[in-house]
Amino acid sequence: MTGGLRDILGTQVYVEGSLKNRKWTDNDNVERYTTEVVIRFGGTLQILSDGRCPDNGENVPQ
């Protein structure tokens, strides 16, 4: 990844919105489930920390 998302990957955020669950079928005909956070106009997305979370033994993908 370059720029954008990479710059905030691992950063804690606060989100206000609703959850949307979807079921879909992948290319191998396997049913998958996805949960999304939907932030409507006027919703809240706030950065809680100004960098990556401290390393807790798990590596953040690069």
Instruction: Give strand pairing partners of 36.
Output: 20
The separation between the first and the last C-alpha atoms of the chain, rounded to the nearest angstrom, is 7
CA 55 – CA 39 distance, rounded (Å):
29
How do the domains of the chain map onto residue ranges? 5-47
- pTM of the predicted model over 0.75: no
- For the chain, the average pLDDT equals 79
Residue-level pLDDT at 25: 98
List of the chain residues with pLDDT < 70: 1-5, 50-62
Please count the CA atoms within 13 angstroms of the CA of 40 that sit on its side-chain side.
Answer: 4
CA 33 – CA 35 distance, rounded (Å):
7
Residue-level pLDDT at 1: 46
